[in-house]
Structure formats: C-alpha cells, structure tokens
Amino acid sequence: MSISKAPNNEWWRGGVLYQIYPRSYQDSNGDGIGDLPGITQRLDYIAQLGADGIWLSPFFKSPMKDFGYDVSDYRDVDPMFGTLDDFKALVERAHALGLRVMIDQVLSHTSDQHPWFAESRTSKDNPKADWYVWAEANEDGGPPNNWLSIFGGSAWQWDTRRMQYYMHNFLVSQPDLNFHNPDVQQALLDDVRFWLDLGVDGYRLDTANFYFHSKSLESNPPRGRPTGEDPAVSAANPYGWQWHKFDKSQPENLAFLQRLRALLDSYPNTSMVGEIGDDDGIGRMAEYTRGGDKLHMAYCFDLLGTQHTAPYLHQLFARFLNVVGDGWPCWALSNHDVTRVATRWGGATPDPRLLQLAAALQMSVRGTPCLYQGDELGLPEADIAFEDLQDPYGITMWPEFKGRDGCRTPMVWDASAENGGFGSGRTWLPVASTHKPLAVNKQQVTEGSLLKFYQHLLHWRREQNALIKGDMHLLPAHPQVLAFVRESAEQKLLCAFNFSDEPVQWELCNEFAQAHPVSESAVSGAVIKQGVVHFEPWGGIFAAP
C-alpha cells in the first residue's frame, strides 16, 4: 500500500537542535534522576536560547543497563522519567513555544528483557526465533567469527537455552535485531508510527548504520594495532583494530532507511537525523542523506575528536563538500558519548575565546547544528571517581578510558542551590564542583558570558539566510585560518576563524577586498584594515562584501 506524502516546511534544514540527556537535565521529584516534567519545566530556557528543536535521549522502559539505550518497551515511558501523559504535556508545551520535538529511536538492538528476545531465545523454532542474530558455534566451540563489541570483547554471547551464540554490538544485554527478517522491520516501523501519532516531529536514529549485518558472517579484515597517528582509533579498545566491513553498514540498510523515510514523509514537517559510526563517516553520511529518500540528515564523529586545527578542519570540510551532493549534514561538537568540547579542544583550562570560536564555526558551516546541553555554558568534562562511575563502558575500559559519565553529569541551573538547582537529594552522578560557577543563573546576568554569547549568536543566525540554507565554498587552506563563504540568493557571507593561540594577518581575496564586519556579537577578535584581517588568538569574523 502506497503512503501519501505530506508537506514538509524543512524547519530542520539549518535549524538548531538542542540535545537533552533526560537523566541529567532537571529532577522534578527529588529522586536524583532527571525526568520529563523537569524537562518541560525548562523548555522556556531552550526557546530563549534560540534553538529550533530538542532531541531527547531515550526515556522508554528499560532495565537501564545502558541508561535507556537498551529498550524493553518501545511504546511506553520508563517510570523513572514519568508517564505517557507527561510526555504528551512536554510535546504540547514545546510546540506552544515553537520548539520541535525529536526523540531517540534505538532500532538496531533491544534489551535482553524485551519480550521479543525472551521469546526468541526459548527455541530455534518459535515465532520470533529469527528476530535476533543467532549463529552456531565453530567446531571448537568458539564464536562464528571475529566480530567485536564496541564495549569490549567478542560481539557474540553464548546462550544455553538455544545452544547458539547471539550477536551484540554493545553490551551482552543488548542483543541485535535481525533486520533481514521483514517482520522485524515492520514491527519497528509500527513502533515508530506510535510516537508520530503522539505528535513527535522526528527522530534521532541511534547507530543508524548498524541495522544490517552480512548474512554470510564473514570475519572482518584486520586494521592492525593503532600507531597513534590516527586519533579516531583507540589503543585502549580493540574494536578499532578491525575494518568493519561485514558487521555493519551493509547495502541492505539503504532500503530500510527508504521505508523509514516513506513513513515519516506521511506526517507533515517531520525529520530524522542518523548517527553514523563508520570507518568512513563522511562518506556514509553523504550516502545516507543523498537523494531525498533516506535520512533527512546525519552526523558522524569527525568533529567529536580532539583535532581542531585549521588544516584538519579544512580537509574535513573539503572532503564533505566533495561527496555530499544534495545530502544534508548535522554537525555536533559534543554529545552524551564523548568528552565535552570545552575539555576536548581546550584542555584543563579552556580559553573562553576558543569556546566562542567553536560555537561560531558550528553555527556557520553548511548543515544543521546540534548543541549538547551545557555546552552553551562552557561546562568542562567532569572528573568522576571510579567508585561513582555508572557507565558500564567506562567501568570495563578503566583506567585508560573512563567512559561517558564525565559528560553526563547534572545540568547546573543555580550556583547557590543544592546540586546546582538540578534537584534535591543524592544525584545519580555527582554535580561537578567546576560546573557550579558556570551555572545558568550566573551567566544570564553577566555580560560577556558564554551563555549570553550563544543567545546572541543563535538569534543573529536566524536572520542570516546564507547560514541557514546557503551553499558553502571553502577558501584556500591556511596554517591558522579556516575560511569559507556561505551564499544564498539573498546574501553572501565570509566566515573566517583563527584556530590558533597566536595572532595572524590574513589577506582578503579580491571579492572581499572591501569587506566589512556584519556582527560583533556573533564572533569577535578580528578587525579589517586595508584588505587584511588582523586576527587575535582564537579570533573570528563574519563579513559581507
């Protein structure tokens, strides 16, 4: 049966998303865990910041082994976060404020406590026997191939009920669904439709390239032990020592994304952004968003590492522009899975000018920016003691990798209030002492604060047509300066940034020889004199010809 296509106003194309990690945003009932009513309470703040939509990390029923990314019921709210009525109230309030609501969909795997898996593991011939990825042992009793879990060890777990191995790309308690089974696809599409009917405006798709595996179960080719030259490959985690040719990013994924897109296209003004974790993130991001029939947008991890020099950024965006075609990216500098950008790029004592420059870059490249809660405050990575760790990834990989808890600590709203205004009682993760001086209530009344800068930047950006939907043209590479032009039918803007802690003089090209700055509040630290831009350390400029 064909599905009619609804209109889409493309609010997502260039709109600013704000990611909320529900456990850590606002606790409304004093149990130490953030919840949906708490988020609703803080939506005015997000609207005033200048965001266009929110992305909520999972709040579905879950045993919380991976804090909601292990779903046991796709159609209900976990009691720790509230109720379905609380979610409906959140959506209603968000829409009243002009905010779109996107929710996380974890489709590649479920919790081992999901009823589907409980049935699947009982036998090899039950109705859901083929709903997960099961395989026979090798003759020596070992797993069927060399596939690895991102969280450490083999991606295969022996199950004594079926006397077979099941696949898990993440925790042992997160078995992978078998997308080669059409019944699995349809069940998931039905669950996606459930939330669309409740009024959500779209989805962030967790691990969007992990849905399909190679049915032949070939072993992945070796990549080799890391030499330290590639920052994307961790020496602490053997997962990066393989080329992931067969366990993810299979060609069948495209057809499922087309089915998913067709479903969303039947609801007005919806969108979805996919998380791409791949050996070639940029290439996969382009493949999954080209053509207007798969993902609306996607993001990869190329800006979520430590590198932020002008040459690195130039080659990254050059490659992106070369392959993206009519696809659309989403650019994040932080999220709930990586060290906060203030620490990752700025070190132990990040220069406030660098944090402003990072924001200006994120808000001016072609694509949709996604801001992670607390980055608008400049929150550094929290230092969590081993005994306070909650993340199973960090507990397994300690001490070389401390996990993701340091970027997931509670939001700080009031510097003088208990737990920084997050809530009363013992919090699920400790509130970092380094965060309290950066609380919202302090920065809201301090001119020159990073929060004030973000507010100015986001509201100014809304009026710049070239930054919302314009084309992007990179200017020649430079050791310190990253520069590009954004251009729409109505506007042309030069965006130039000194990504170094040294001043530099940079000569304007002929087209911008008579350029003049267009906004001091959007970025600063640079002046134009006789066709030359004089940059201070970490300075930037937006200019019109």
- Give the number of other Cβ atoms within 10 Å of residue 261's Cβ: 18
DSSP letter string over 169-208?
Answer: SS-TTSPBB-TTSHHHHHHHHHHHHHHHHTT--EEEETTT
From edge to edge, which strands make up the β-sheet containing 481-487? Answer: 471-474, 481-487, 492-498, 540-544, 516-517
329: alpha, beta or left? (left if phi > 0; alpha if psi -120 to 50): beta
Is 31 a residue of the active site?
Answer: no
Nearest-CA neighbor of 269 among 148, 502, 49, 98? 98
Beta strand 100-105 with 202-205 is: parallel
Token readout for 345 is 């790029």
**Of 66, 201, 275, 381, catalytic:** 275
- As a whole number of Å, the CA-based R_g of the chain is 23
Residues 6+ apart with CB under 8 A from 482: 310, 313, 314, 317, 361, 496, 497, 499
Question: Is there a cis peptide before residue 392, judged by omega within 30 degrees of 0?
Answer: no
Beta strand 53-56 with 100-105 is: parallel
Token readout for 435 is 């965060």
> Contact at 8 Å (CB) between 272 and 310?
no
The strand pairing partners of 543, in sequence order, are 494, 517
403: alpha, beta or left? (left if phi > 0; alpha if psi -120 to 50): left
> Contact at 8 Å (CB) between 118 and 129?
no
Nearest-CA neighbor of 358 among 319, 308, 318? 308
> Contact at 8 Å (CB) between 116 and 71?
no
Separation CA 361–CA 353 (nearest Å): 12
The three-state (H, E, C) secondary structure of 261-310, written as one string: HHHHHCCCCCEEEEECCCCCHHHHHHHHHHHHCCCCEEECCCCCCCCCCH
Separation CA 528–CA 319 (nearest Å): 30
**Of 206, 265, 287, 302, catalytic:** 206
Question: What is the chain's length?
Answer: 545
Is 206 a residue of the active site?
Answer: yes
Nearest-CA neighbor of 202 among 292, 256, 284, 266? 266
Distance of CA 495 to the CA centre of its chain: 24
The three-state (H, E, C) secondary structure of 323-380, written as one string: HCCCCCEEEECCCCCCCCHHHHHHCCCCCHHHHHHHHHHHCCCCCEEEEECCHHHCCC
User: Which amino acid is residue 140, in one-letter code?
Assistant: D
Active-site residue set: 206, 275
